[in-house]
Amino acid sequence: MTIREKYYNWAQFIPSNIAVNTAKLGPIGNLKAAGTFGSIAGLLFFTVFLYNTTTFSLILSCAILAYIAIGVCDRAEICLDQKDPNCIILDEFVAMPICFIGINISTQSNVWILMILAFAFFRFFDIIKPLGIKNLQNLEGGLGCVADDIAAAIATCMLLHIYLMCST
């Protein structure tokens, strides 16, 4: 039994056009530098919906979003017959909030600096894929599509924590 069959087989029932459009965040996935715009959309989503949540709520929300994204991205990859194409940006979108786990951002005096650093660090790790992040793309289907972005977000989160420790 494959990972797909065991954990996110439900995604096969998503109609093709819905899976592809969701994975592309609608027309955003068709833009040049789509991953950058997907990251910005994820940052905006975090700011509007998850900004004042507790760490537990943020982790739970991120886990649910990641699970859904794995299934949707998997289905979109099958429909597009491509492995992690640039137009699929749901993975960047769901990864951005992970950058802020453990940071009570609403109490920070330097919120804009944190947002800019999070975006810059995340894009660095997502594009360059150092520290074995690139190898995560080899995982099966949607899991490989989303896992490298989650790893990039975790690395970003660690750097943000270091920044906050050094700036106090």
> Contact, 40 vs 25, CB < 8 A?
no
Q: Tokens 């270091």, residue?
A: 162
pLDDT at 4 over 90: no
Name which of 140, 141, 137 is nearest 129 in CA terms. Answer: 137
Lowest-confidence region among 38-42, 103-107, 111-115, 134-138: 103-107
Q: How far is CA 21 from CA 16, 37, 67, 87, 107, in A?
A: 8, 15, 17, 10, 36
Confidence of residue 97 (pLDDT cuts 50, 70, 90): very high
How far is residue 103's CA from residue 55's CA, in Å, rounded to a whole number? 8
